[in-house]
Amino acid sequence: MSELLQILDETGKKVGKAPRLKRDVLLQMYRSIVQTRAFDDRCMKLQRTGRIGFSVPNLGIEAVSAGAAAAMDPSRDWFAPYYRDFAMLFYHNISPEKMFDNMFGNCEDNAVGRQMPVHFTFTEPAKFFSISSPLGTQIPQAVGMAMAMKNRGEDGAVLTTFGDGTTSSSGFHSGLNFAGVYKAPIVFLCQNNQFAISCHSDKQTASESYAIKAKAYGMPGVRVDGNDALAVYKAVSDAAKRAREGKGPTLIEAYTFRMGGHSTSDDPSRYVDADLIKKWQKRDPLMRLRNWLISEGHLTDERAEEIAEEAADEMKNAADAAHAKSRPVLGTIFTDVFEKVPPHLEAQMESCIKHHAERDEAVDEKGEFPL
């Protein structure tokens, strides 16, 4: 198995050459992990009390998202993430309130309530392609985005992320095969958290690693410690530089562990051994980065606690603001598809609104979420 790139060990001690990064960048990586945990905590409370239908916990894997986000340039790069990458959004200062707008599916949600919760999409302040639930669909789409960049002569790159389970999808094969042949300026980042819902990696692939699959597609494969934000930054930064220089794609496997359920609808105790969770708790990516930042003089224990309190308050206030907003009006089902609503949809919209108005029927907004 290929060597695992690591810069910080489990205690936060430096064991490799750290990339030269400004203090603000390092603290933003740390802050984005803290914000993700605060967002997850707020979402769990909202879901358990029936105010939102669904969320996807990020506990344990946040360093993959934070380190990768810091390596990309939002002024020229695109992100095609999957549904467990919240720290990417926080690193690039996406508004928590706008994220909660999606969680509630309210009138200010960018998807106007049409998407599932945690299926974010943004164009500012960074370009995040819409998250989708079907595994691997974002990969060939991301390759298409990268090829469009290349054909237009732009100097940006695309970062697309996915879990280990997605490597069994046809989108993974077709996307990497096409990108390898045409040297698309793209970085493929596999977040190997060891479980595709309840399916362990040893039931997912017979390969010695996910990174080794890159050989079949004619691109470099890199394995990195996914709980080490600095190592992830280094791997993604090098791959993005290679992509921008026209040298083609890279497949990165970030080896990490999901210390929670696949979603708020999942009970991981049914398939994950408790001792395994305890083992990975000692490798906590947040404490690893925190310890190193303190040892380098970039952070103090007092300031770290303040950041945690600020994040908790920020998420509560953002959730309260989003919850107070109204639902999208019924007519939005028919709009936003065409620049000008065509006559047949106009007629359908009027008929639908008339139907509900005459019968005093409200849209069922309290139905049980299907997942």
**Residues forming the active site:** 258, 262, 271
Q: Say if residues 317 and 350 touch (Cβ distance below 8 Å).
A: no
Peptide bond between residue 185 and the one before it cis (omega within 30 degrees of 0): no
Measured distance CA(71)–CA(234) in Å, rounded: 8
Measured distance CA(335)–CA(122) in Å, rounded: 19
Q: Say if residues 236 and 189 touch (Cβ distance below 8 Å).
A: yes
Is residue 187 exposed (0-12), middle (13-18) or buried (19+ Cβ within 10 Å)? buried
Q: Which pair of tokens denotes residue 42?
A: 């707020």
Q: CB under 8 Å to 201, separation ≥6 — which residues?
A: 164, 192, 194, 195
Mapped onto helix, strand or coil, the DSSP state of residue 205 is coil
Q: Which pair of tokens denotes residue 128?
A: 């995040």
